[in-house]
Amino acid sequence: MTITASALTRAAGIAAAAAGAIFIGVQIGHPQVNTTSITSTNVYVRDQLKILMTVLALVGITGMYLSQIRRNGVVGLVGYVVFAVAYLLLLCDVYVSSYVLPRIAGSSHGYVHDLIVLGTARGSVTGDVGAMQTVTQLRGFTYLAGGLIFGIALYRAHVLARWACALLAVGGVISAALTLMPDAFYRLLAFPNGIAMIALGYSLWRTTGSSTAAQSPAVRMPAQRSQPPNDDSTPSAAPSPAQTTGT
């Protein structure tokens, strides 16, 4: 099996689309997160899917950037780095929510409650959460700024679906606005980014396949070898005068 750059790029497109689909899927029917539900199997399974989503998203945006690295330029590099930091911070946040908070929910009820409020922006923090306040703010900033800058760079590159690039650029702002909406609209915050990732992943997969087919060399048929002349068709030499006279 030969691993090529086009195959890796198409795999990155699939990863991006899968990340967007998971991001939307885990929000459907998501229970309200509190100190009781965070220890449930339902929330645990969803957190595992969120961890998978962040990894796939990192693979996807890396493929988007590297597939058009010259067109993206410095703006694309800055946007990619900031957006990647956002997903790494999100990965750390989901890991803590999945493996740390359920274990201390009984002994540190107030601290767990404050971290849930901090992560979901539903309510107010009453205690001291330490550096988690700064980490959460940094995650929000990098998610908004990274999506905006990276989306603009992809839009300017004019390779992937431009409407999806524009949606990625404004998706963070829309998600931030939805956090201020009532609970009925809160879980819709994943839809703008999720739809954008699905569309960009498909666009990356499709454009890479099309360019690979266009760049493949034409198959040349071997030239047929010329057949030697048949001896039977060679005209016989004229008879000599001696043969004609019989001498």
CA atoms within 13 A on the CB side of 231: 0
Q: Where are the domains of the chain?
A: 5-213
Q: What does the pLDDT read at residue 107? A: 86
pLDDT band at 174 (very low <50, low <70, confident <90, very high): confident
Amino acid identity of residue 59, one-letter, is V
Q: What does the pLDDT read at residue 31? A: 86
Residue pLDDT, tens place only, 52-89: 999 999 999 999 999 888 888 899 999 999 999 999 99
- What is the sign of the dihedral through the CA atoms of 90, 94, 99 and 104? positive
More confident residue, 121 or 217: 121
Cβ count near 164 (within 10 Å) = 24
Residue pLDDT, tens place only, 27-51: 888 888 888 889 999 999 999 999 9
* Residue of 4, 18, 2, 3 whose CA lies nearest to 201: 18
* Residue of 81, 80, 92, 5 whose CA lies nearest to 50: 92
Cβ count near 174 (within 10 Å) = 15
Residue pLDDT, tens place only, 97-108: 999 999 998 888
